[in-house]
Amino acid sequence: MGAPMARRLLGAGFKVTVWNRDVSKAESLHSAGAAVAPTPREAVLDADVVFTMLSDGKAVEDVLFTSGCADVLRPGTAVIDTSSIAPPIAKDHAARLSMRGIQHLDAPVSGGVVGAQAGTLAIMAGGDAAVVERLSAVFAALGRVTHVGPSGAGQICKLANQQIVAITIGAVAEAMVLVEAGGASREKFREAIRGGFAESRILDLHGGRMIARDFKPGGPSKLQLKDLDAVASMAEQYSLELPLTERVRSEFSEFVAGGGGDQDHSALLLHLEQLNGQKA
C-alpha cells in the first residue's frame, strides 16, 4: 500500500522521501523521483508531513518513537498514520506527539492496492478537523478523506470497515460453497446476481478471485485476523455483543492457524471448502 501511495504523492508534485525496512521496496521508488533514506529518522528530517503505513501498532511505535523520529520532527509537523492499528494506541501516539507540538491524524484507508494505485482510497481521519482541512490537497492525491471524529475515531471506523469486509467475504464464500453443492456454476451465479441487492465490491473483486482461485494476497488473511482481534478487544471494552463478527473471526483464526495467513482474505473460501469436503 505504501509504495503506490508514495507514487500518487510524487505524481501530484510533492517532494517525497521514503524509508522501508526492506530496502529494495524503497529503492523501487527512486526512479519515480523519491529520495531514499537509510533510516526512518533521516526520512523525516525537515518534513512538513509524515506518512506511516505499517503492519501494526508495534511497528508504528518503533518507527515513530524507538527509532527517534519523534525526536527530530519539528513542531507543527503533521504525522498521518494510515496504518490499521488499535484505537487506544492511536490515541496514545497522538497524545505523546502533541506534547512535542506535533500534530497527529489516525487516517487508515480502505480500497486496497488497486485503490492506492488509482488514487481512490477511502480515508477515515481522526483528530483535529482543521488539520484535515489544511492537508486537503495532500489527501486529494490519495483519495477521498472524511473527518470522522477525534483521535482514535479513524481507527474505530477502519475496524468497522474491516468487520463489514470480513463478514461479506464470509457470506460470499459460503454462497460459493452452496452453489457448488447444488450443481450450479459459481461463475454464472456471480454473473446472475450482479446488479441485484447482493451486489458489492466484495462480490466483484473477491468473488472474482474465488472463481479464478487466485489468492495472491492483496489483503493477507493474517492481517484481516489482526483487525478482527482488535474489533473483539474493543467490543469487550465497550461491553458489546457482535455475534457475526465473532463467528467470522473464529473462521479466520482457524484458517490462519492452518497455514493460510499469507493468502488473500478471499481465500477463506478454501477453509470453508475443506470444512465441507469440497475442492482441495
Q: Which residues are catalytic?
A: 158
Phi, psi for 56 (deg, rounded to 5): -160, 180
Rounded Cα distance between 168 and 206, Å, is 10
Q: Give the CA distances from residue 104 to residues 16, 66, 91, 121, 169, in Å, rounded to whole numbers and listed in that order.
A: 19, 17, 9, 19, 32
Rounded Cα distance between 98 and 195, Å, is 47
- Sole residue written with cell 497524545: 95
Q: Give the CA distances from residue 126 to residues 51, 130, 149, 170, in Å, rounded to whole numbers and listed in that order.
A: 14, 11, 5, 29
Rounded Cα distance between 220 and 216, Å, is 8
Rounded Cα distance between 137 and 11, Å, is 13
Phi, psi for 148 (deg, rounded to 5): -110, -5
Helix (H) or strand (E) segment spanning residue 190: helix 186-193
Q: Classify residue 42 as exposed, middle or buried by CB count within 10 Å of its CB (0-12, 13-18, 19+).
A: middle
Helix (H, G, I), strand (E, B) or coil at 4: helix
Chain-centroid distance of CA 254 in Å reads 21
Contact of 17 with 40, CB cutoff 8 Å: no
C-alpha cell at 142: 490519495
